[in-house]
Amino acid sequence: MPPPLVHRIVPAGVHAVPRPFRAFAVRSDEPRHAMDARAPYERVHLMQTAFLDAGSLAALAAEGRARMGETEFADVDYAATSFAELAATAPRAGDLAGSIADALRATGVLGDDPARYRANVSARIDYLGCAGAGFHNDVARHWTRCLFWILALELADVEFVMPHAGVRLALAPGDLLVFDQTMAHGLCRPRDEGQAVASSFETGDDRRQVFLTGELLLEDAEWTALGAPWLPVEEHDRRGALDLLVAEFDDRSGAIKRLRALADCMKRSTCHVDDAPR
């Protein structure tokens, strides 16, 4: 029997917001939330899992590398896969979808119904590969309604960093991470003190990182339960919120660029969706 899951909840709610803004929020480019925004989820979940043995981790990482090819610093590559393909690659992994879903259930972000986690995990599974990752966020399409999860298959001497939330987490193979991808995030070497430095990922056997990844798509009521309800943009404008949908980040430091251009980012008149009916 594998050892029990080790679940660490990391606070991510004390934000370093650049002036003149006082808070972060994210609008949606979907008509569903065209005139709304939500605050970021203020936790990161790190789970040390043991449902993949060393051989299965290595086999899955090798398959992921073969599908994605080489990547340069700050390039994040994806390759679609399925649990049937993963089972063929690593037969000792057993019910991998069930193992991931059970671990994600520990976060409580979708409530306590096992079927909710199983359905989310089964909806999409990709390989993700990089050689370090400069700071960026992911807000396209429906992703503002999601949290992301990543399962580390192959990496060494790497930290997951969210610079505006003060989060720096050392990662190891088998670690499962859940986070709000609308906040800037990247992969750094510990020696670089929270900076994403290209030269630190240019050479060596450990220059590349390989993950499995997917989405947790939350309903509006679930965002409310997490303390990040969708509210009218006027409320976030009153709070002095910076819209993470349109923010640009320096890929080394995570600093937000062109702040003056974002002055009216949380106004109803600057809605970032098309003219499709709501």
CATH number of the domain that residue 116 is part of: 2.60.120.620
Q: 20 in a domain, yes or no?
A: no
8 Å CB contact between 139 and 148: no
8 Å CB contact between 23 and 220: no
Q: 228 in a domain, yes or no?
A: no
The CA radius of gyration of the chain, in Å to the nearest whole number, is 19
Q: What is the C-alpha to C-alpha distance for residues 73 and 131, in angstroms, rounded to an integer?
A: 5
Distance of CA 109 to the CA centre of its chain: 14
pLDDT value at residue 274: 53
pLDDT value at residue 278: 40
Q: 261 in a domain, yes or no?
A: no
Expressed as residue numbers, the domain containing 100 is: 43-219
The one-letter amino acid code at 86 reads: L
pLDDT value at residue 1: 61
pLDDT value at residue 276: 45
Q: 158 in a domain, yes or no?
A: yes
The 3 state secondary structure assigned to the chain is: CCCCCEEEEEECCCCCCCCCCCEEEEECCCHHHCCEEECCCCEEEEEECCCCCHHHHHHHHHHHHHHHCCCCCCCCEEEECCHHHHHHHCHHHCCHHHHHHHHHHCCCECECCHHHHHHHHHHCCEEEEECCEEEECCCCHHHHHEEEEEEEEECCCEEEEECCCCEEEEECCCEEEEECCCCCEEEECHHHCCCCCHHHHCCCCCCCEEEEEEEEECCHHHHHHCCCCCEEHHHHHHCCEEECCCCCECCCCCCECCHHHHCCCCCHHHCCCCCCCC
- Residue by residue, pLDDT tens for the chain (278 residues) are 667 899 999 999 999 999 999 999 999 989 889 899 999 999 999 999 999 999 999 999 999 999 998 888 888 999 999 999 999 999 999 999 999 999 999 999 999 999 999 999 999 999 999 999 999 999 998 999 999 999 999 999 999 999 999 999 999 999 999 999 999 999 999 999 999 999 999 988 899 999 999 999 999 999 999 999 999 999 999 999 999 999 999 999 999 999 999 999 999 888 766 544 44
Residue 80, both tokens: 């679609």
8 Å CB contact between 114 and 102: yes
Q: What is the C-alpha to C-alpha distance for residues 131 and 76, in angstroms, rounded to an integer?
A: 8
Kindly report the backbone phi and psi dihedral angles of residue 11, in degrees, each rounded to the nearest multiple of 5, phi listed first.
-60, 135
Q: What domain count does the chain have? A: 1
Q: What is the C-alpha to C-alpha distance for residues 85 and 91, in angstroms, rounded to an integer?
A: 10
pLDDT value at residue 70: 81
